[in-house]
Amino acid sequence: MLAVSQAETIILNLVQPLNGRRDTEVVTLLTAIDRILAVPVTSVLNFPHWDNSAMDGYAVRYEDVKHCSDQQPAILEIVEEIPAGREPQRIIQPGQAARILTGAVMPDGADTVVIQEQTRREEERVFILAAPEPQAFVRHQASFYRAGTPLLPPGIIINAPEIAVLAAAQCTQLTVYRRPRVAILSTGNELVTPDQPLQPGRIVDSNRYALAALVAQTGAEPVQMGIVPDEPEALKNAIAKALQTADVVLSSGGVSVGDYDYVDQILAQMGGEIHVRAVAVKPGKPLTVATFPASVGSNQKPVLYFGLPGNPVSALVSFWRFVQPAIRKLSGLSHSWGPLFVKARARHNLHSDGKRETYLWGQLHLVGDGYEFQLADGGHSSGNLINLSQTNGLAVLPVGQTLISAGEQLQILQVGLPIVKGPI
Ligand code: AMP
Ligand code: MG
């Protein structure tokens, strides 16, 4: 059985990130949020576009004002007013100044801005009451960005700051990676959909819904493939269909050692190469990871297959720990695919049998200037999904460690909701 870190390495090495032309699409600025930039962006514009004023004040020649003070002000003639957006008409000569407003273009001849607070105005004259630094409050052309150099690199997520940059650079259309398609199917004769009557003994298929939500949150497109009974032929047909449409296939259930657990066997029969069969993790020990070469699916892409355990908590934990980083890497992100661990203090004693790397679910809180982990109330059985609600952290107990005492620091895998400010 593989250790968690071994399984993680194997899985990430199997991922072939999107690239090339057929894996991209063009979006507009208004629909670009959360997409991943596929090509570098450069601009023909300098930032700032022109020398301009950072403040409201007066554009002056430094030579004219370098020795002044409130006792001996420099007195300059105001020859022009330059609000933002107006092109200066005059060249500032010795003894002259221009009234200038924030963002307005510096007039030729002037090299320094004196802020309004250090001046006194009398009609068409301005008294400069303090000597500024040379070139004070001038934002120089191209000092933020020089035209033609890289503006945004590929592989980054487009968020509000990037949208601001792209808008300012007048890039209204941009090339992003397409969203990876992730097919999701549930296996099990016992499963019913949430809107079907619940006959005795049946179980509601919650995994397909949870996994679709997780896939969408990861920036990929969930493709629903339904519930598949535990029958080899039905399973084969469903998997074949999924392979044709998706970059990644997620099934849940049927990867254990029970009489109806056919998934591994069928994957092998269909030409899949199985890389992972079980991982020393709790919850989630049965985990199958397989690849199908490009030639098998009609869409000519290699497909990564995850056979997740059926238990609802195991399915979610396996997704967070193994599937999410793989989808992130696949989606073209150039960095930060990996799971995010933060250090936190345990609020309670946390127990494990020490045999497998154990993940306990609960809430990460920000308390004072550090994080604390609050274990979810109730049973920590992989079949109990009720107390998963509001989970935003999974406490990690490494193999061999049976206890983390209250007050000790430990690693928490951050998942789902953002970290919240906690009760003291
Ligand atoms: P399996 O791995 O197929 O043996 O399933 C393990 C347990 O998880 C069984 O109790 C199943 O009924 C349950 N289970 C399997 N698939 C799902 C699902 N899609 N939604 C909720 N529970 C499931
Ligand atoms: Mg089953």
Residue nearest ligand 1's atom 16 by CA? 310
CA distance 245 to 297: 8
Nearest ligand 1 atom to the CA of 187 is 16
The pLDDT score that the predictor gives to residue 297 is: 47
The pLDDT score that the predictor gives to residue 122 is: 97
Q: Does the Cβ of 207 fall within 6 Å of ligand 1?
A: yes
Nearest ligand to the C-alpha of residue 188?
Answer: 2
Q: Does the Cβ of 312 fall within 6 Å of ligand 1?
A: yes
Q: For tokens 């920036």, what's the residue?
A: 219
Pocket-testing residue among 184, 203, 306, ligand 1, by greatest number of atoms within 8 A of Cβ? 203
Mean pLDDT, the chain, whole residue set:
95
Structural contact between residues 148 and 157, judged by C-beta atoms closer than 8 angstroms: no
C-alpha of residue 263 to centroid of ligand 2, in Å: 10
Instruction: Over range 294-299, report the average pLDDT.
Output: 59
Report percent pLDDT > 70 for the chain: 98
The pLDDT score that the predictor gives to residue 259 is: 85
Residues 99-134 have pLDDT tens digits of 999 999 999 999 999 999 999 999 999 999 999 999
C-alpha of residue 291 to centroid of ligand 2, in Å: 22
Locate the DSSP E strands across 73-156. Answer: 74-82, 96-100, 112-115, 119-122, 125-128, 138-139, 150-152
Longest CA span, the chain? 97
Residues 217-242 have pLDDT tens digits of 999 999 999 999 999 999 999 999 99
CA distance 208 to 215: 10
What residues flank ion ligand 2 with Cβ within 5 A?
188, 253-254, 310
Lowest mean pLDDT among 52-56, 88-92, 132-136, 420-424: 420-424
Q: Does the Cβ of 283 fall within 6 Å of ligand 1?
A: no
Q: Does the Cβ of 310 fall within 6 Å of ligand 1?
A: yes
Lowest mean pLDDT among 244-248, 278-282, 388-392, 420-424: 420-424
Residue nearest ligand 1's atom 23 by CA? 310
Nearest ligand 1 atom to the CA of 190 is 12
C-alpha of residue 306 to centroid of ligand 2, in Å: 15
CA distance 136 to 53: 9
CA distance 183 to 401: 37
C-alpha of residue 310 to centroid of ligand 1, in Å: 4
Task: Return the structure tokens found at 108.
Answer: 């030729």
| Cα angle 7, 282, 374; round to 5 | 115
Q: Is the peptide bond before 283 cis (omega within 30 degrees of 0)?
A: yes
Is the model's pLDDT at 423 over the cut of 90? no
Residue nearest ligand 1's atom 17 by CA? 310
Q: Is the peptide bond before 200 cis (omega within 30 degrees of 0)?
A: no
Indicate the pTM of the whole model.
0.93
Residues 350-396 have pLDDT tens digits of 999 999 999 999 999 999 889 999 999 998 888 889 999 999 999 99
The pLDDT score that the predictor gives to residue 369 is: 87
The pLDDT score that the predictor gives to residue 299 is: 55
Pocket-testing residue among 207, 228, 262, 316, ligand 1, by greatest number of atoms within 8 A of Cβ? 207
Residue nearest ligand 1's atom 10 by CA? 311
Is the model's pLDDT at 296 over the cut of 60? no
Residue nearest ligand 1's atom 3 by CA? 253
Nearest ligand 1 atom to the CA of 253 is 3
Q: Does the Cβ of 253 fall within 6 Å of ligand 1?
A: yes
